[in-house]
């Protein structure tokens, strides 16, 4: 009798497990759809702050139907492996800095050219519009959820840099389009993703870095770099991308929530970045004794003149690769006017 009951229970178990196996993933557990979101820098930095904000909005707007599990600090995917990791499905969603793979994203990386992008809010909107206009092939294998940029880059250094003569040969860390700019000014440009920079600074491999200034506070670079030279140049572009199968599996209403968030998140992040840069700079000056160096008009003119050939060279190189490079530059310039 009890043996009969045992095999009945076993049979029922197999029957139910088969049933479960064939149900589509979202309904299987009867719980929320769980999506993994990978990010490369530490949790307090702006790419992760915007990730938590996106998670909060998605969970709220899908009324608990979706749960986003976040992985900051490169615990699931690291800076340079982000795009391929998402394509392969190691994470459902990933946040990447396009400047770390300059050749891979030629159209969207054009935003790093010295074209006078004034702040992160405007630059993020320009980047988003540029992406929507050209829908570059580099993103064909993923679903792009949003894009944004950093604020313009400035020099943070252990030694004061007041003139072009001061920057000659100084090892400074920068990636992507910003590298061309440092080279033009005569610095010894050292390339590496942001998470590797604290160690390089501590060990003295570099004497400073070229980035948006919120890192003075978020990475505590103000403790090592006591000088900031204001140049307000290159912004770095970021993208948040989703694995195509993960995207296609989502119910339409969830897809709509994410679609609608694309531009909103881009503006949110730009605004957060601009405010946070101002706050970090004030903190650095007040509590860390950081000196902010503003180049004189004549000195600034010398620096700017060295950047003039960069855009022309980029147009030449990219045209040779078959891209509508001159048009892209024109578009960026007119979008800046529109959003300013």
Q: Supply the DSSP symbol for 80.
A: G
**CA 199, CA 86: separation in Å to the nearest integer?**
27
- Min dist CB 336 to ligand DTR, Å, is 19
* Nearest residue (CB) to ligand DTR, 62 versus 269: 269
**CA 83, CA 273: separation in Å to the nearest integer?**
23
Reading the block at residue 101, the tokens are 């793979």
* Nearest residue (CB) to ligand DTR, 215 versus 295: 215
**Binding characters for ligand DTR, 205-224, by CB under 6 A (x = yes):** ------xx--x---------
What's the number of CA atoms in the CB half-sphere (13 Å) around residue 217?
19
Sign of the CA dihedral running 223, 227, 230, 236: negative
- Min dist CB 198 to ligand DTR, Å, is 11
* Nearest residue (CB) to ligand DTR, 106 versus 177: 177
Report yes or no: 187 and 312 within 8 Å, Cβ to Cβ: no
Taking CB under 6 A as the criterion, the residue among 46, 54, 128, 272 binding ligand DTR is 46
* Nearest residue (CB) to ligand DTR, 236 versus 303: 236
* Nearest residue (CB) to ligand DTR, 26 versus 118: 118
Contact between 112 and ligand DTR by CB under 6 A: the answer reads no
Task: Give me the DSSP letters along 160-198.
Answer: ---SHHHHTT-EEE--THHHHHHHHTT-EEE---GGGHH
* Nearest residue (CB) to ligand DTR, 195 versus 324: 195
Place of tokens 């050749």: 103
Secondary structure of residue 151 in the 3-state scheme: coil
- Min dist CB 70 to ligand DTR, Å, is 15
Write out the binding residues for ligand DTR, residues 177-206 only, by CB under 6 A.
Answer: 194
Q: How many residues bind ligand DTR (CB under 6 A)?
A: 12
* Nearest residue (CB) to ligand DTR, 182 versus 315: 182
Contact between 97 and ligand DTR by CB under 6 A: the answer reads yes
Reading the block at residue 97, the tokens are 């800095």
Secondary structure of residue 195 in the 3-state scheme: helix
**CA 127, CA 137: separation in Å to the nearest integer?**
15
Contact between 315 and ligand DTR by CB under 6 A: the answer reads no
Do β-strands 208-211 and 171-173 pair in parallel, antiparallel, or remain unpaired?
parallel
Report yes or no: 70 and 48 within 8 Å, Cβ to Cβ: yes
**Binding characters for ligand DTR, 140-159, by CB under 6 A (x = yes):** ----------x---------
- Min dist CB 225 to ligand DTR, Å, is 13
Place of tokens 């990475």: 219
Q: Which residues bind ligand DTR (CB under 6 A)?
A: 41, 45-47, 97, 150, 175, 194, 211-212, 215, 236
């Amino acid at each position: 009798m009890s043996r009969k009951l045992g095999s009945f229970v076993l049979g029922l178990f197999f029957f139910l497990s088969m049933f479960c196996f064939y149900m589509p993933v979202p309904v299987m557990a009867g719980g929320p759809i769980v999506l993994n979101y990978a990010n490369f820098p530490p949790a307090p930095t702006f790419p992760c702050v915007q990730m938590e904000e996106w998670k909060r909005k998605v969970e709220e707007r899908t009324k608990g139907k979706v749960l986003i599990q976040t992985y900051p600090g490169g615990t699931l995917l690291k800076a340079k492996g982000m795009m391929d990791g998402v394509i392969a499905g190691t994470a459902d969603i990933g946040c990447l800095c396009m400047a770390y793979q300059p050749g891979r994203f030629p159209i969207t990386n054009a935003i790093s050219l010295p074209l006078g992008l004034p702040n992160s809010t405007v630059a993020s909107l320009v980047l988003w519009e540029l992406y929507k206009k050209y829908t570059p092939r580099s993103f064909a294998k993923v679903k792009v959820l949003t894009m944004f940029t950093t604020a313009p880059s400035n020099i943070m250094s252990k030694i004061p840099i007041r003139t072009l003569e001061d920057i000659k040969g100084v090892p400074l860390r920068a990636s992507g389009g910003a590298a061309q700019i440092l080279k033009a000014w005569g610095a010894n440009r050292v390339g590496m993703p942001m998470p590797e920079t604290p160690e390089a600074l501590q060990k003295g491999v570099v004497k400073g870095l070229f980035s948006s200034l919120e890192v003075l506070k978020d990475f505590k670079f103000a403790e090592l770099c006591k000088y900031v030279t204001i140049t307000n140049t290159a912004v770095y572009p970021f993208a948040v991308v989703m694995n195509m199968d993960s995207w296609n599996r989502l119910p339409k209403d969830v897809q709509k929530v994410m679609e609608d968030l694309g531009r909103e998140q881009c503006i949110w992040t730009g605004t957060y970045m601009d405010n946070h840069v101002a706050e970090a700079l004030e903190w650095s000056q007040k509590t860390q004794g950081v000196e902010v160096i503003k180049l004189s008009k004549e000195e600034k003119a010398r620096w700017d003149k060295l950047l003039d050939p960069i855009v022309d060279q980029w147009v030449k190189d990219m045209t040779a690769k078959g891209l509508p490079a001159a048009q892209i530059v024109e578009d960026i310039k007119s979008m800046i006017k529109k959003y300013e």
